[in-house]
Structure 1
Amino acid sequence: MSARRGTVPVRGYAVTPWSRALIDVVEGRNTGDGGVPVVDSTRITKARRYFRDRHVHQLTIRPGTVTSSVQGSQLDPFEVIVSMRTVDTPTVVTLLSARDGVTEVMSLARGEQPRTLGELILPTESADVAGDCTCPDDSGRCIHVLSTMFEVAAEIDRSPTTLLTVMGTSLPELLDAIEDLSPTRPPAPAESGRTESEGTGSAEPAGTPPRVDFFGTGATAPSLPSPPRMSPLTDLDGTALRAALRASGIAPGDIAEAIDDLTDLYDRIIED
C-alpha cells in the first residue's frame, strides 16, 4: 500500500504531432543541421524536471504571446515572455485551398491535428520563437522558457486549437477566411454551352485557367513532408515502461527521474 501511495504519475508533453513539431523548433532540432538541438541536453533535462514538478505557474496563452511565472532557484519566481512570429490567416487559407486541404479545418472541432494545416501554421525555424526571462540567463532558451513551452505543448496535446491561438489565429477566423475566399472562385459563364461532347476536351469554358492538381499538368509538385521526429520514450506505452522500470529494481518514487535520465540518454545517442 505504501508503494502505491508514493507513486506519482509521470507528466507528458509533445506526445502529438503538432506539439512535438513545436518543441522541435523550440529546441532547434529542425534547423537543417541533422536534428541536433540548439539547446544543450543539460538545460532540456532541467526544464523537463521543472515541467514534471509543476514549477510553471500562471500560464497565459494569447495570440502570438505566452507568459508565465516560473519558480526557479531563487526565492522570487522568474517572469517569462515568449513571442511567436504569427501567421496571416487569409494567406494560410489561400495556401490550404491550393492544397485541397480546406476540409481539414473542420476536423479541428473533433480534436484532430490535420497535417497540411499544421505544416502551414507551425513555426519552421528557431527564430520564429523568441524567449525572454528575468533570470540571469539571456540566451533566450533558459530552463524557464523551455519549461514554459513544455507546458504549452501539453496544452496543445489536450486541445489542438491552442496552437492556433499561439500562432495568432483561431478556428472562427479560419472559417471566416474560407467563407471570404469562396466568392473569388470564378463560376462558369451561364451563356457558355460547351461540353466535353462538343470536342473541347474539357468541361471548363474557354479561357478558364487549368486547375493545378499536380497530376500530369507539368506543375511543380509540393515538397515531400518531413516525417516527425520519433521518441520511443513518448511513443511507448507509459504503463508498460513504468512496470519495466519497477521490475528492474527502481523504487516507485524514483521512476519519474529515471524516465528523465533515459530521455536525456536517448537525446545524447541520436545527437551523436
Structure 2
Amino acid sequence: MSRGRRAPVRSYGVTGWGRAFLDAVEGGAEHRQVTGARRYFRDRHVDALSITRGVVTASVRGSQLDPFDVRLEMRTVDAETVVGLLVSQGATDDLLDLARGAQPPTLGGFVAPTESADVVSDCTCPDERPRCTHVLAVAFEVAAEIDRHPATLLTVMGTDLPELLAAASGDGASGDGASGDGASGDGVVPAGSTGSDGEDRAPFGDDPFGDRLVAPPVPSFPAVDPLDDLDPTTLRHALRATGVATTEVTEALDELAAVYEVLTRRR
C-alpha cells in the first residue's frame, strides 16, 4: 500500500437481509461490546470464518495471546414451510429474484431470524454475557457476507436456493406430462394455477431453474448521461471511500463514462 493511502472502508449490515440478521444477534448487546466488535471487524481480527447450514464458526484475535473460538447456532427454517408461506403471499417469484442476486423482502421476512433467541452463541473468552465482543465481530462478518451474497442468509438459516426451488416444484409437475390438470403442454405449471381438484399447484412445475423461461427484453437506457446528473463532489467522495486514490479519481470517472457509453450502444 502506498504511503498516505487508506484501506477501503469495510461495511456490514447495509442491506435489508444483512441488517435483519444483525438485529437478531445484537439484541440485548451492550454499547461497549458493539463498539469493540466494530473495531475488531474494521481491523480484520476475525479469522477462519466458516458458514455451514445453521452453524457459523470463527476465531477472533482479542486481548489475549491465543484467539477465541466463536460458534453461532441458528434456529433453522424448514424449506417446505418457507415455500408454503411464499405461495400464500403470492410471492414465489422471490426465489427467482434471489437467483438474480436480489434480496426480496417477503422471502427475507420468512427466512431471517426475528429475535435474539433464534441465534445461540458461544465463545471461549471469559466474558459470560450472551453477546460478547467476539461473537458480535463474527456476526458483523456474516452480515457483510450476506450483503455481498444474499444466498448466504439461506445457508446461515439451514437451507439453500436449490432446496427451496425443489420444495416449490415438488408437487407441480404431472406424472405423464398431461395438461388436463392445469399444467401446460410441456409439463410446466403456470404460476398461480390450480388442478382439477381445486388445489394450488407449485409455481415452477418441472422447470425449477427456469431453463425454459423466456427472458424479458433488455431494457433501454435513457438518452441522458447520468454522470452529468450526479453531484461531482459526492461522486468523488464515493470513489475515495472505495479506496481510489485522489490522483486516480479523474481516471476512475473516465472509466465510468466509457463503460456507460458501451452500455448505451447495446440497445
TM-score with structure 2 setting the length: 0.66
Residue correspondences, number: 194
Code of the aligned partner of 1:4: G
Partner of 2:67: 77
Code of the aligned partner of 1:20: R
Code of the aligned partner of 1:8: A
- Larger RCO (alpha carbons 8 Å, 6+ apart): 1
Partner of 1:23: 22
Q: Give 1:127's match in structure 2, choosing from 98, 102, 117.
A: 117
Partner of 2:170: 180
Distance 1:95 1:183 in 2: 20
What are the within-5 Å matches in structure 2 for residues 33-182 of structure 1?
A: 38-182=28-172
Code of the aligned partner of 1:22: F
1:128: Cα distance to partner? 0.3
Distance 1:205 1:55 in 2: 55
Distance 2:110 2:63 in 1: 38
- Aligned alpha-carbon RMSD (Å): 3.1
**Distance 1:243-1:102 versus aligned 2 partners, 3 A rule:** closer
Distance 1:131 1:123 in 2: 14
1:101: Cα distance to partner? 0.8
Distance 2:239 2:30 in 1: 26
Structure 1 unaligned segments of length 5 or more: list them.
29-37, 191-203, 211-236, 245-272
Structure 2 unaligned segments of length 5 or more: list them.
183-193, 201-233, 242-267
Code of the aligned partner of 2:21: L
**Distance 1:161-1:53 versus aligned 2 partners, 3 A rule:** same
Code of the aligned partner of 1:66: V
Q: Assess if the C-alpha contact under 8 Å between 1:64 and 1:86 holds in 2.
A: yes
Distance 2:96 2:196 in 1: 34
**Distance 1:174-1:2 versus aligned 2 partners, 3 A rule:** closer
Distance 2:124 2:113 in 1: 24
Q: Assess if the C-alpha contact under 8 Å between 2:123 and 2:134 holds in 1.
A: yes
Q: Secondary structure at the match of 1:131?
A: strand
Distance 1:108 1:209 in 2: 26
Partner of 2:4: 4
**Distance 1:132-1:189 versus aligned 2 partners, 3 A rule:** closer
1:112: Cα distance to partner? 0.3
Distance 1:144 1:241 in 2: 30
Select the structure that is richer in helix.
1
**Distance 1:238-1:151 versus aligned 2 partners, 3 A rule:** farther
Distance 1:41 1:69 in 2: 22
Distance 1:206 1:103 in 2: 24
Distance 1:154 1:39 in 2: 19
**Distance 1:43-1:242 versus aligned 2 partners, 3 A rule:** farther
Partner of 2:220: none
Q: Secondary structure at the match of 2:4?
A: helix
List structure 1 segments (4+ residues) > 6 angstroms apart after TM superposition: 187-190, 204-207, 241-244
Q: Secondary structure at the match of 1:182?
A: coil
Q: What does the per-residue CA deviation read over 1:74-125, in whole Å, with 9 as the maximum and x for residues that have no partner?
A: 0000000000000010000011011111111011121100011000001111
Q: Assess if the C-alpha contact under 8 Å between 2:51 and 2:57 holds in 1.
A: yes
Q: Assess if the C-alpha contact under 8 Å between 2:181 and 2:196 holds in 1.
A: no
